[in-house]
Chain A
Amino acid sequence: MRVTEGLITEKYLFNQNRISQRKLELQSQLTSNKKIENLSDNVGDAIDIVALDSKLNKFDSYKKNIGNAKNFINSSINAFDNAISNMEQMIQKVETMDDAINKENYPTIIKSLKDSVESIVRSLNEKHNGMYLFGGTNFNQEPFALDVDGKIVLNSADLAGEMKVKVGTNFTETMNMSGDKINNSGLINSLNAVIDKLNAGEAPTKELKDDFMQGYNGFLALQSQNGEKINRLEDIELLLENNTNNVQTLLLDKQAIDPAKLIVDLQYQDYLLQMSNKLSASILPKSLLDYI
């Protein structure tokens, strides 16, 4: 094979171009800190990155929803706690009515008991971010009210609604305790029966007190359901956290660069370029011409 000056130049330029291209690629990865900047860098990995990013965004959204739901449920728990505290005070006061000494204090005790009922209704009508905690999904009316006799009445025709919040792929959790459940706990009926008796100026009978205790226990059971919801949401949150970590690890595998490896590679390419330049500097101009 004849070796011509053109051939040597062509070879030199071709190699230099390839080395420079590789250097550019490495520099770009190092400065962007990303292995894949464009779709065509690696189509499969780029599409995987899109899918993984999408998962992370969804997880973030679920986590946000869980945070909102937990805040809502915590508000519900606080409202329940207030109501329970008032109920406990009522239980104590009702017990004092059995003592004959307190008979002349009935009006004061009855007023105090009615104040507690009012507080209970206030707690049951509490809102979180403008949403009735126990109004089902009907936010147009307060769920509970007091009638002229001071008894608790349902103020809305529909308290059954469940507020479902998306916390996973095709997976929802109900965050509210519906007014219907509170109503069905027996608390309101038993309280109202006590109030009827109080309005008659009498102390509640043992049966009424037993019913009230049953209603109170039913209400406590609902409170524990709120606690269970929080626990369940925290479990899901933990699961999402683990999934987020897994996806982030996968994403790092696809996307993260190894700076040390890239720098070594870049240095190697630089040596190659220097070598190519040095060789070319010594070979390219040399010919018989130089010796004539």
Chain B
Amino acid sequence: MGIGRLLDISVRTMATYQNALDVTSNNISNAGNSEYTRQKVLLSTEVTQGGIGMGVKLQDVQRIKNNLVDSQIRKYQSSLSDSSLRSEILQQVESVIAEPSDTGLSFYINDFFNSWSELSSNPNSPQLRSQIVQKGQRMSDRFSEVFEGFDSVQTLLQKEATTTAGEINNSLKLINELNQKIFETESRGMNASDLKDKRDSQIDNLSSLVNINVHQNKQGAAIITIGGVHGADLNVANSFEIDFIDGQMKLVSQTDSTATVQLSGGDMYAIADLYSNKLPSYKDQLGQLAQVIVNKVNDTHKTGFTLAQNGISKTNIPFFGEMTPDGTVVNSFVSGKMRINTSIFNDPRNIAVSSSGANDGNGDIAVALANLNEATIGELNGRTILDSYSGILSDFGMEKSKSDSTIESNELIIHQLTTQKAAYSGVSLDEEMANVIKFQRSYEASAKLVRVADEMMQVVLNMV
């Protein structure tokens, strides 16, 4: 029995170190896999028999993981994805706004009002009158382009939202399936490290799509909630869809439409917030500004008299829109378009800049119209047109700038956390190669012990 024990220990030891080498080789082969969590062989002493040690055994193969770092990475990843997508979308809007440049709205607004100023020096000039119509049209076209730009970004966001909801559903389904596979694998007493890596990767991916909360139950299943709504566990995976409630884009459960996700991070939050709040707000503010310009220009223009035609100057003519018989101005600003009065568009002599009839050389109203660009306006909270426009630009610019700086800080934090994760869970080739040598030597030594045991057996046999 004595020599048998020696063989026993040696064989078990060889098997143990072979397994250890398997784990090490798995680590080495996954050194370049960023999703991989290094595994560590836990060796322990075999239970002694009769006071004599029985060698070594492989107690466990452990995933070296820091859950706190993982959850922090997910939290900041969620915020980074939100800011990145937000910045990307706002960049598209920024190119539509095109400030500061000679193609921005400010240029066209100034150009329009300056053309009134120029008309004051030659009020009956057909060229300057045509120029006002052209510049009014260009300003209108530019406003229209900006509104269309906003609309096309919103349409894009709508499509993006549907795609993202699909990705969320897909991710939840995969997590649910992996939960089940991990449970089944571990129930059979097998190691599910690789499946857990896949699940972690999927959870990381989900965290970039939407804000999530993750915890593990007793069976080791990852329980996911999305903005307070159940997402996935061991048994089920919820599905979500996009719904529009009071003009607000919402992510709701397909099985219970009252279960609305409280979005606060990830791509989905950026999409929903830009679609529902930010873009409509910029659009509304610009729309109000355009409406104020239209109303103020009309109010002043209506007090003026046109060039005399057949000795008669007309008055009470709006520059934008048409006058109905009851004296109401209609169609002045429709669907983001400022519409120049057709009678003016077709005949610029109908531009009314004289403060008295049949006085074609009077440009008092042209001066008053040019002065609108410098006047503080009650409807714009006592600000000038340019100040009001600058306020909109400031709101927009700050949002984009905030997103950009959030990206920068989040990237830095994530880099720090990823560094921590790489230091804790990453594979060190030096360490693994040292282990290879250590395990190989132990294996070789055990093999030698077998030979020793064999020789001892031969000695015993030769005694017979």
Q: Which residues of A contact B449 (CB under 8 A)?
A: none
Q: Which residues of B contact A3 (CB under 8 A)?
A: 423, 428
B114–A57 CB distance below 8 A: yes
B120–A172 CB distance below 8 A: yes
Q: Which residues of A contact B95 (CB under 8 A)?
A: 38
In angstroms, Cα B333 to Cα A49, docked, is: 29
Q: Which residues of A contact B431 (CB under 8 A)?
A: 2
B38-94 residues at the A interface, CB under 8 angstroms = 90-91, 94
Q: From B90, B359, B397, give the contact of A43 (CB < 8 A).
A: B397
Determine if A51 is an interface residue (Cβ-Cβ < 8 Å). Answer: yes
A288–B434 CB distance below 8 A: yes
B: residues with CB less than 8 A from A are 31-32, 34, 90-91, 94-95, 97, 99-100, 104, 106-107, 110-111, 114, 117-118, 120-125, 308, 311, 354, 356, 358-364, 366-367, 370-371, 373-374, 386, 389-390, 393-394, 396-398, 400-401, 404, 415, 418-419, 422-424, 426-431, 433-434
Q: From A39, A138, A175, give the contact of B397 (CB < 8 A).
A: A39
A130–B124 CB distance below 8 A: yes
B99–A46 CB distance below 8 A: yes
- Smallest distance from the beta carbon of A181 to chain B beta carbons, Å? 15
Q: Which of A57, A61, A170, A292: most chain B CB closer than 10 A?
A: A61
Interface string of A62-77 (1 = CB under 8 A from B): 1011001100100000
A163–B363 CB distance below 8 A: yes
Q: From B110, B122, B363, B428, give the contact of A4 (CB < 8 A).
A: B428
A47-66 residues at the B interface, CB under 8 angstroms = 47, 49-51, 53-54, 57-58, 60-62, 64-65
B397–A69 CB distance below 8 A: no
In angstroms, Cα B94 to Cα A4, docked, is: 42
A58–B354 CB distance below 8 A: no
14 contacts between A and B (CB under 8 A): A38-B95, A40-B90, A40-B397, A46-B397, A57-B107, A57-B111, A65-B121, A137-B359, A138-B358, A161-B362, A163-B121, A163-B123, A166-B370, A166-B371
**6 closest Cβ contacts across the A-B interface?**
A4-B426, A43-B397, A137-B362, A6-B426, A137-B361, A40-B400
In angstroms, Cα B393 to Cα A46, docked, is: 9
A4–B386 CB distance below 8 A: no
| Known pairs A1-B423, A69-B121; A288 contacts B361 (CB<8 A) | no
A139–B124 CB distance below 8 A: yes
| Known pairs A57-B114, A164-B363; A39 contacts B97 (CB<8 A) | yes
Determine if A158 is an interface residue (Cβ-Cβ < 8 Å). Answer: yes
| Known pairs A46-B397, A65-B118, A136-B361; A10 contacts B418 (CB<8 A) | yes
Q: From A38, A54, A65, A138, give the contact of B110 (CB < 8 A).
A: A54
CB contacts between A and B, total, < 8 Å: 181
Q: From B90, B94, B100, B354, give the contact of A49 (CB < 8 A).
A: B100
Q: Which of B34, B311, B419: most chain A CB closer than 10 A?
A: B419
Q: From B94, B100, B118, B396, give the contact of A50 (CB < 8 A).
A: B100
| Known pairs A4-B423, A6-B31, A172-B367; A165 contacts B124 (CB<8 A) | no
A47–B397 CB distance below 8 A: yes
A7–B426 CB distance below 8 A: yes
Q: Which of B359, B371, B427, B434: most chain A CB closer than 10 A?
A: B359
Q: From A54, A163, A292, give the contact of B433 (CB < 8 A).
A: A292
B121–A5 CB distance below 8 A: no
- Smallest distance from the beta carbon of A237 to chain B beta carbons, Å? 14
Give A46's nearest chain B residue, CB to CB: B100
Q: Which residues of A contact B430 (CB under 8 A)?
A: 287-288
Q: A46-B99, A161-B359, A175-B121 are in contact. List 9 more A-B contacts (CB 8 A).
A: A4-B423, A39-B393, A49-B100, A50-B106, A68-B122, A137-B123, A137-B354, A287-B430, A288-B433
In angstroms, Cα B100 to Cα A51, docked, is: 9
A47–B433 CB distance below 8 A: no
In angstroms, Cα B198 to Cα A34, docked, is: 47
Q: Which residues of A contact B111 (CB under 8 A)?
A: 57
Q: Which residues of B contact A215 (CB under 8 A)?
A: none
B124–A51 CB distance below 8 A: no
Q: Which residues of B contact A166 (CB under 8 A)?
A: 117, 120-121, 366-367, 370-371
B358–A10 CB distance below 8 A: no
A194-240 residues at the B interface, CB under 8 angstroms = none
A interface, size bucket: 35 or more
A51–B386 CB distance below 8 A: yes
Q: Which residues of A contact B361 (CB under 8 A)?
A: 131-132, 135-139, 161, 163, 176
| Known pairs A6-B34, A39-B94, A137-B361; A287 contacts B114 (CB<8 A) | no
| Known pairs A138-B360, A164-B363; A53 contacts B107 (CB<8 A) | yes
Give A135's nearest chain B residue, CB to CB: B361
Q: Which residues of B contact A36 (CB under 8 A)?
A: 100
In angstroms, Cα B385 to Cα A289, docked, is: 70
Q: Which residues of B contact A2 (CB under 8 A)?
A: 423-424, 426, 428, 431
In angstroms, Cα B99 to Cα A165, docked, is: 30
Q: Which residues of A contact B308 (CB under 8 A)?
A: 140
- Smallest distance from the beta carbon of B310 to chain A beta carbons, Å? 11
Determine if A129 is an interface residue (Cβ-Cβ < 8 Å). Answer: yes
Q: Which residues of A contact B374 (CB under 8 A)?
A: 169-170
Q: Which residues of B contact A5 (CB under 8 A)?
A: 31-32, 426-429
Q: Which residues of B contact A103 (CB under 8 A)?
A: none
In angstroms, Cα B124 to Cα A72, docked, is: 14
| Known pairs A5-B31, A49-B100, A50-B393; A10 contacts B419 (CB<8 A) | yes
Determine if A11 is an interface residue (Cβ-Cβ < 8 Å). Answer: yes
Q: Which residues of A contact B423 (CB under 8 A)?
A: 1-4, 7
In angstroms, Cα B31 to Cα A3, docked, is: 13
A165-183 residues at the B interface, CB under 8 angstroms = 165-166, 169-170, 172, 175-176
Give B397's nearest chain A residue, CB to CB: A43
B110–A57 CB distance below 8 A: yes
B358–A11 CB distance below 8 A: no
Q: Which residues of B contact A53 (CB under 8 A)?
A: 100, 106-107, 110
Q: Which of B122, B358, B393, B404: most chain A CB closer than 10 A?
A: B122
In angstroms, Cα B455 to Cα A191, docked, is: 152
Q: Which residues of A contact B434 (CB under 8 A)?
A: 288
Q: Which residues of A contact B362 (CB under 8 A)?
A: 137, 161, 163
Q: Which residues of B contact A58 (CB under 8 A)?
A: 110, 114, 117, 373
- Smallest distance from the beta carbon of A9 to chain B beta carbons, Å? 8
